[in-house]
A = this chain, B = another copy of it.
Amino acid sequence: MRSLVPDYLADVLADVASDTSGELAGYIPELASADPDRLAAAFATVDGEVYGAGDIDAAFTIQSVSKPFAYALALSDRGFPAVLDKVGVEPSGEAFNEISLETGTGRPRNPMINAGAITVHSLAGADDPEPGARVERIVSGLSAFAGRPLRIDEAMCASEMDNAHRNLAIAHMLRSHGILTEDPRAVVDGYIRQCSVLVTPRDLAVMAGTLANGGVNPVTAERVVDAAVVRQVLSVMATCGMYDAAGDWATQVGIPAKSGVSGGLIGALPGQLGIATFSPRLDEHGNSARGVSLFERFTTDMGLHVMDVPPAAQAVVRSNHIRGHGSAAVRILQVQGGIRFAGAERIVREFVADPPLQRTVVLDLARVSSIDDVARRMLLELARRLTADGHDVSFVDPESLVTRSRGSGG
């Protein structure tokens, strides 16, 4: 039997293939000469399966799709305060190449516009590195996200550097505000190298999948960045990733995403999957025209919108019964499913509404599929309170969901 997913992806690609609207990015000769008809879509699940259809192994330069990953690396390398001090997180409502610096401070509005991305580039790696070492750090970081060694397209670098006047303007402006503190030309040169890293749609899906998986590459199992960094990156992608179409995207697609001028487009659905599409013709916002259509299809077909209210779970409390009699009687609460705050609250309520008369209380978690920090803490507090009330409390917890300690990455 063939998997459903490749069939689905192939079907969806076929549906959008005839759409030749949009234009190739014209301002960089190397991009303007791309094959406009290339088309691909790929999914990477958080447990490491990668599906694709179309030209999923076609290589192209990553361009602005590098921005969220470089942001993740900078946050990881320098810490949040150092990065937030230099680059804001507010949507600019402006096109990608607007300067959008905050009045007064000169701080770029967010890391997804060029001014922010150039600043972020300067913050990757150790403090005050040699520019070449910084580029190496970024290439190796992007490679970790992709799960294979990536390399720079040197011809594209040269082509872009010749056309980099707008980015040089931005970098000199940032330097004049003290946001950059080194030679603006070296930073732009490095930033262009970052944008010229060659990737395939398959790579991008795994990179997005790493974000969806909380920072752990689902294929290589390498932790690339920690969960707090991922949360920050996804939040910024959600509000700033699609330039001046941010609101349309947030309402209609609802997947944190980032597009690039070479036609790449990624989305990351926390806990589920990374998505990548590739089609070089761009719409009027500078986003891949067919890429946007594909994401709209994915959301509609698969319920991937982050603001979709999930279906009501089955009752978390599967049963609340007494086993045995008299003083040997035991109160058993059998719970099920994934437990977050709302589920834990429901469990607590069961004992508040109907305090157990039995001395011994058992919480049976054998059917629980997952549990998060707050729910774990609530169940431990519940046990503490019941104990304080004179009960003997025990957990049936074959997976050690409640008793194990949690790592930083959540």
Give per-residue flags for A271-314: 1 if the beta carbon is below 8 A from chain B beta carbons, else 0.
11100000000000000000000000000011111111111111
**Those of A148-178 within 8 Å (CB) of chain B:** 165-166, 168-173, 175-176
A367 near B370 with CB under 8 A, answer no
Counted per complex, copies of this chain come to: 4
Interface centre among A256, A355, A410 (most CB of B within 10 A): A410
Query: How many angstroms from the CA of A169 to the CA of B251 in the assembled complex?
Result: 29
**Those of A187-241 within 8 Å (CB) of chain B:** 212-215, 227, 230-232, 234-236, 238-240
- Smallest Cβ-Cβ distance to A232: which chain B residue: B251
- Interface-side segment among A122-130, A257-265, A377-385: A377-385
A247 near B165 with CB under 8 A, answer no
Q: Of the candidates B214, B215, B342, B349, which one forms a contact with A46 in the assembled complex, judged by CB atoms under 8 Å apart?
A: B342
How far apart are A232's CB and chain B's nearest CB, in angstroms?
6
Query: Contacts A93-B91, A173-B166, A309-B227; is A239 near B246 (CB within 8 Å)?
Result: yes
**Those of A1-36 within 8 Å (CB) of chain B:** 1-5
A311 near B165 with CB under 8 A, answer no
B309 near A89 with CB under 8 A, answer no
Q: Of the candidates B91, B309, B385, which one forms a contact with A239 in the assembled complex, judged by CB atoms under 8 Å apart?
A: B91
Residues from chain B with a CB closer than 8 A to the CB of A351 are 1
Give per-residue flags for A348-391: 1 if the beta carbon is below 8 A from chain B beta carbons, else 0.
11011001000000000001111111100010011001100100
A172 near B166 with CB under 8 A, answer yes
Residue A37 lies at the interface, judged by CB distance under 8 Å to chain B: no
B349 near A3 with CB under 8 A, answer yes
A305 near B251 with CB under 8 A, answer no
Q: Of the candidates B244, B251, B272, which one forms a contact with A235 in the assembled complex, judged by CB atoms under 8 Å apart?
A: B251
Q: Of the candidates B176, B212, B231, B311, which one forms a contact with A372 in the assembled complex, judged by CB atoms under 8 Å apart?
A: B311
A1 near B386 with CB under 8 A, answer yes
Query: How many angstroms from the CA of A369 to the CA of B370 in the assembled complex?
Result: 11
B304 near A341 with CB under 8 A, answer yes
* A-side interface residues, number (CB < 8 Å): 100
Residue A336 lies at the interface, judged by CB distance under 8 Å to chain B: yes
Query: How many angstroms from the CA of A337 to the CA of B313 in the assembled complex?
Result: 9
B165 near A169 with CB under 8 A, answer no
- Smallest Cβ-Cβ distance to A175: which chain B residue: B165
Query: Contacts A337-B338, A369-B336; is A308 near B172 (CB within 8 Å)?
Result: no
- Smallest Cβ-Cβ distance to A398: which chain B residue: B314
Give per-residue flags for A88-110: 1 if the beta carbon is below 8 A from chain B beta carbons, else 0.
11111100000100000000011
Residue A85 lies at the interface, judged by CB distance under 8 Å to chain B: no
Residues from chain B with a CB closer than 8 A to the CB of A316 are 369
Query: How many angstroms from the CA of A132 to the CA of B354 in the assembled complex?
Result: 48
Query: How many angstroms from the CA of A345 to the CA of B272 in the assembled complex?
Result: 10
Query: How many angstroms from the CA of A3 to the CA of B382 in the assembled complex?
Result: 8
Interface centre among A172, A303, A374, A385 (most CB of B within 10 A): A172
Query: How many angstroms from the CA of A369 to the CA of B337 in the assembled complex?
Result: 5
B314 near A368 with CB under 8 A, answer yes
Query: How many angstroms from the CA of A351 to the CA of B3 in the assembled complex?
Result: 8
Residues from chain B with a CB closer than 8 A to the CB of A213 are 309
B1 near A369 with CB under 8 A, answer no
Residue A68 lies at the interface, judged by CB distance under 8 Å to chain B: no
Residues from chain B with a CB closer than 8 A to the CB of A137 are none
Q: Of the candidates B168, B215, B301, which one forms a contact with A168 in the assembled complex, judged by CB atoms under 8 Å apart?
A: B168
**Additional A-B contact list (9), CB under 8 Å, known A4-B378, A239-B250:** A4-B382, A90-B247, A93-B93, A238-B238, A239-B247, A270-B307, A272-B340, A316-B369, A337-B338
Nearest first, the 7 A-B pairs at minimum CB distance are: A337-B369, A169-B172, A90-B247, A89-B247, A214-B309, A165-B176, A169-B173
